[in-house]
């Protein structure tokens, strides 16, 4: 199975997902009525700046709901969402489930390890059987790039991508962007550097698409084997040296080394990676502006891509990202499914 941009994801970049079909560029009257042109959220590649801004603005309203003593609204009463996770997750899975419950949707959680996929059932059959129980939406994480696009072609339900291999993780990028917008305001012209394992990162690709659409200047930094070939064609600037990247950044989004997706040795050891590219307080003090904002999508490997001192410092907005994630997922669910409650 392909797990990196070079062996599959990069091919996707060269041949975008179905020229609009991938993002589900299908005008559904019920979704169009509340503002999104797409039926699904498969990625940010073909979402417009207006749609991204609408999701962020809607998430701001839900952040206010999450501050209330009773953090629940009846918006999606009668809607059923299945969370179909074929890969491990802490933040995304709990955040989606919480968002669904806060919106009063009925939720069902699926875990591949305890399902009949262990007996050889295919993804198509698993999903079709679940849909036959009358559901409205599937939130899916899968190790295969394009798995959510595949599902959108098999089912009638709304599909939301919670991470497909090394391809996209759109709600992570949306929560990263919301967190930055709340800190920095307008992102036009802001220099955002993604540092680390860009090659195997779905977070990187979704951030590149989303940030560029809002006018930010996106840069990547990491060891050469972990930077996808031809990435400059996406309009991204490449830094091979972390100190230079820090000197030219307003934001650093630190990505984990995804050893579980590596099928070759890309650097000698994690200790050497930390020495060359680790984000440490000493590096920040010597090379970064005092205003530099640090993000990390999690899970963190302390002492590898980031030191504990930096992760827990005032520059880091890692836990704000997690809080904002619930509101972003509420916004996505509301905008894609809100019309269905009217239909009911
Ligand atoms: N950021 C993120 O996707 O974390 P999880 O793998 O815990 O969901």
CA 283 to CA 241: how far, in whole Å? 12
Note the pLDDT of residue 344. 56
Ligand 1 pocket, 225 CB below 6 A?
Answer: no
Show contacts of 286-293: CB within 8 Å, 24+ apart: 286/243, 287/242, 287/243, 287/246, 287/247, 288/246, 288/247, 288/249, 288/252, 289/249, 289/250, 291/250, 292/246, 292/249, 292/250, 292/251, 292/252, 293/180, 293/183, 293/184, 293/250, 293/251, 293/252, 293/317
Question: Which residue's C-alpha comes closest to atom 6 of ligand 1?
Answer: 89
Question: Which residue's C-alpha comes closest to atom 4 of ligand 1?
Answer: 91
CA 302 to CA 209: how far, in whole Å? 28
Query: Which range among 1-5, 301-305, 310-314, 339-343 shows the weakest confidence by mean pLDDT?
Result: 1-5
CB proximity list for 321: less than 8 A, separation 6 or greater: 175, 176, 179, 295, 296, 297, 298
Instruction: Spell 290-306 as b/e; 16+ CB within 10 A means b.
Output: eebbbbbbbebbeebbb
Which ligand 1 atom is at minimum distance from the Cα of 163? 3
Ligand 1 pocket, 299 CB below 6 A?
Answer: yes
Ligand 1 pocket, 287 CB below 6 A?
Answer: no
Note the pLDDT of residue 260. 80
Q: How far is the CA of 112 from the centre of ligand 1 (A)?
A: 16
* pLDDT band with cut points at 50, 70 and 90 for residue 340: confident
Greatest C-alpha distance within the chain: 59
Note the pLDDT of residue 343. 63
CA 162 to CA 159: how far, in whole Å? 9
For the chain, the helix, strand and coil percentages under 3-state DSSP, each to the nearest 5: 45, 15, 40
Residue 296 vs residue 341, higher pLDDT: 296
CB proximity list for 269: less than 8 A, separation 6 or greater: none
Pocket test for ligand 1, best of 96, 99, 163, 173 (most atoms within 8 A of CB): 163
Domains of the chain: 5-169+323-343 (3.40.50.1370), 170-319 (3.40.50.1370)
The answer, yes or no, to whether residue 186 has pLDDT greater than 60, is yes
Pocket test for ligand 1, best of 86, 91, 167, 318 (most atoms within 8 A of CB): 91
Note the pLDDT of residue 54. 97
* Whole-number average pLDDT of the chain: 90
The answer, yes or no, to whether residue 18 has pLDDT greater than 90, is no
Task: Give me 114's structure tokens.
Answer: 């305890």
Share of the chain above pLDDT 90, in %: 83
Give CA separation, 189 vs 157, 184, 244, in Å. 38, 11, 18
Q: How far is the CA of 300 from the centre of ligand 1 (A)?
A: 10
Nearest alpha carbon to residue 343 among 154, 76, 68, 160: 76
**For the segment 48-70, what is each residue's pLDDT rounded down to a tens digit?**
999 999 999 999 999 999 999 99
CB proximity list for 111: less than 8 A, separation 6 or greater: 85
Q: How far is the CA of 42 from the centre of ligand 1 (A)?
A: 17
Ligand 1 pocket, 260 CB below 6 A?
Answer: no
CB proximity list for 64: less than 8 A, separation 6 or greater: none
**For the segment 81-127, what is each residue's pLDDT rounded down to a tens digit?**
999 999 999 999 999 999 999 999 999 999 888 899 999 999 999 99
Give the phi and the psi of residue 287 in degrees, each rounded to 5.
-130, -15
CA 193 to CA 241: how far, in whole Å? 12
Segment 7-21 shows an average pLDDT of 33
Q: How far is the CA of 172 from the centre of ligand 1 (A)?
A: 8
CA 231 to CA 237: how far, in whole Å? 8
CA 340 to CA 78: how far, in whole Å? 9
Segment 160-182 shows an average pLDDT of 98
* pLDDT band with cut points at 50, 70 and 90 for residue 28: very low
Note the pLDDT of residue 276. 97
């Amino acid at each position: 199975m392909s797990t990196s941009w070079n062996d599959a994801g990069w091919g996707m970049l060269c041949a975008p997902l179905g020229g609009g079909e991938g993002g589900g560029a299908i005008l559904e009257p019920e979704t169009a009525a509340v503002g999104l042109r797409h039926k699904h959220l498969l990625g940010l590649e073909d979402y417009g700046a207006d749609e991204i801004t609408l999701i962020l603005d809607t998430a701001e309203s839900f952040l206010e709901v999450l501050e209330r003593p009773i953090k629940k609204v009846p918006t999606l009463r009668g809607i059923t969402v299945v969370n179909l996770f074929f890969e491990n997750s802490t933040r995304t899975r709990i955040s989606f489930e919480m968002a669904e419950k806060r919106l009063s949707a009925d939720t069902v959680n699926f875990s591949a390890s305890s399902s009949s996929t262990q007996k050889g059932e295919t993804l198509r059959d698993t999903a079709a059987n679940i849909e036959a129980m009358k559901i409205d939406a599937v939130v899916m994480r899968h190790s295969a790039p394009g798995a959510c696009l595949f599902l959108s072609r098999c089912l009638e339900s709304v599909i939301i991508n919670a991470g497909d291999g090394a391809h996209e993780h759109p709600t992570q990028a949306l929560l990263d962007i919301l967190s930055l917008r709340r800190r920095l305001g307008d992102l036009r012209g802001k220099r955002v550097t993604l540092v680390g394992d860009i090659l195997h990162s779905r977070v990187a690709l979704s951030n590149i698409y989303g940030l560029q659409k809002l006018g930010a200047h996106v840069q990547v930094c990491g060891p050469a084997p972990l930077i996808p070939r031809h990435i400059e064609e996406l309009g991204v600037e490449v830094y091979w040296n972390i100190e230079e990247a820090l000197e030219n950044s307003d934001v650093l989004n630190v990505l984990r080394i995804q050893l579980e997706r590596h099928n070759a040795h890309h650097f000698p050891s994690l200790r050497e990676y930390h020495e060359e590219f680790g984000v440490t307080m000493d590096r920040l003090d010597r090379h970064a502006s005092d205003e530099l904002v640090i993000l990390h999508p999690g899970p963190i490997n302390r002492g590898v891509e980031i030191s504990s001192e930096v992760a827990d410092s005032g520059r880091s907005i890692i836990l704000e990202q997690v809080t904002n994630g619930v509101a972003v997922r509420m916004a996505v669910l509301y905008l894609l499914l809100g019309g269905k409650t009217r239909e009911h």
